[in-house]
């Protein structure tokens, strides 16, 4: 009883905190100064059409680096919690005919689509995080369909750590080539033509590395879950 009352009080309190934000909120009609600088700088300085990518990869690149770290820590935690104790073979039932055929047909397409998304992150909606998740969902499909699918931990570890190191290396390259204020500055590559695939300096490379990193992180989560399957 007392718990129910406390719950209601907590909900009402939270609603009371949120209420002023709702009442005083007006949809803005102009961009705020910071966003104006980002939108202008994205096109003028970085030669980059997608302003969201400019914020993620360059202006707030340090946040993205930290976020990749959080992702890595979460993945490591999942691997730790789902660590297999016994050598019992995990039981897994084969997917249906439809799932198996569909997985064989779609998984390569998922991979290509994921690579397309992260390599075009500077031109169109999308980028490393989305592309990585699409690749991981392709892998999930084949895990669900095939009984005898085994992850190569060597490849997973290598692609995960190499893309992480290369990402930090690209950031440090800005520091070395452009001066001390330019960590994660992508302008040391040629800017290229506006709206071309090879443009905007190092941004496509950095975003592709993020894509590979996210994809392999999530694939190693899937590997941990698959190993653990059927044991509980």
Spatial contact of 42 and 138, defined as CB atoms under 8 Å apart: no
Q: Give the span between the Cα atoms of 82 and 53, in whole angstroms.
A: 34
Give the residue with the Cβ less far from other proteins, 49 or 102: 49
Tokens 């070395």 correspond to: 176
| The binder of other proteins chosen from 5, 20, 56, 164 (CB under 8 A) | 56
Q: Is 71 in the site for other proteins (CB under 8 A)?
A: yes
Residue 120: phi and psi, rounded to 5, are: -110, 20
| The binder of other proteins chosen from 1, 20, 32, 166 (CB under 8 A) | 32
Chain residues 152-181 in contact with other proteins, contact rule CB under 8 A: none
Q: Give the span between the Cα atoms of 98 and 95, in whole angstroms.
A: 8
Q: Is 29 in the site for other proteins (CB under 8 A)?
A: yes
- Residue 17 has a CB neighbour count (10 Å cut-off) of 9
Q: Is 63 in the site for other proteins (CB under 8 A)?
A: yes
Of 13-21, 99-107, 173-181, 201-209, the segment contacting other proteins by CB under 8 A is 13-21
Q: Give the span between the Cα atoms of 125 and 42, in whole angstroms.
A: 15
Q: Give the span between the Cα atoms of 103 and 140, in whole angstroms.
A: 9
Q: Is 112 in the site for other proteins (CB under 8 A)?
A: no
Q: Give the span between the Cα atoms of 155 and 40, in whole angstroms.
A: 41
Interface residues with other proteins (CB under 8 A)? 7, 10-11, 14-15, 18, 21-22, 25, 27-32, 34-36, 38-44, 47, 49-52, 54-56, 60, 63-64, 67, 70-71, 74-75, 77-78, 81-82, 123-125, 127, 129-130, 133, 194-195, 214, 217-218, 221, 224-225, 228, 231-232
């Amino acid at each position: 009883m007392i718990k129910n009352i406390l719950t209601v009080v907590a909900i009402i309190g939270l609603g009371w905190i949120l209420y002023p934000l709702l009442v005083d909120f007006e949809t803005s009609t102009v961009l705020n100064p910071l966003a104006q600088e980002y939108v202008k700088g994205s096109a003028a300085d970085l030669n980059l059409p997608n302003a969201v990518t400019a914020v993620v990869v360059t202006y707030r690149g340090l946040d993205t680096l930290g976020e990749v770290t959080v992702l890595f820590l979460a993945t490591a935690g999942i691997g730790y919690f789902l660590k297999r104790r016994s050598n019992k073979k995990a039981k897994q039932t084969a997917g249906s005919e439809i799932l198996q055929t569909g997985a064989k047909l779609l998984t390569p397409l998922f991979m290509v689509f994921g690579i397309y998304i992260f390599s075009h992150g500077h031109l169109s909606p999308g980028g490393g995080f989305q592309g990585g998740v699409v690749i991981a969902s392709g892998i999930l499909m084949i895990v669900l369909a095939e009984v005898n699918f085994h992850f190569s931990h060597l490849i997973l570890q290598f692609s995960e750590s190499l893309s992480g190191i290369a990402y930090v290396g690209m950031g440090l390259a800005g520091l070395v080539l452009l001066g001390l204020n330019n960590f994660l500055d992508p302008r040391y590559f040629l800017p290229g033509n506006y709206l071309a695939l090879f443009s905007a300096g190092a941004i496509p490379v950095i975003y592709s590395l993020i894509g590979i990193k996210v994809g392999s992180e999530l694939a190693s989560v899937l590997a941990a879950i698959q190993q653990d399957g059927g044991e509980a």
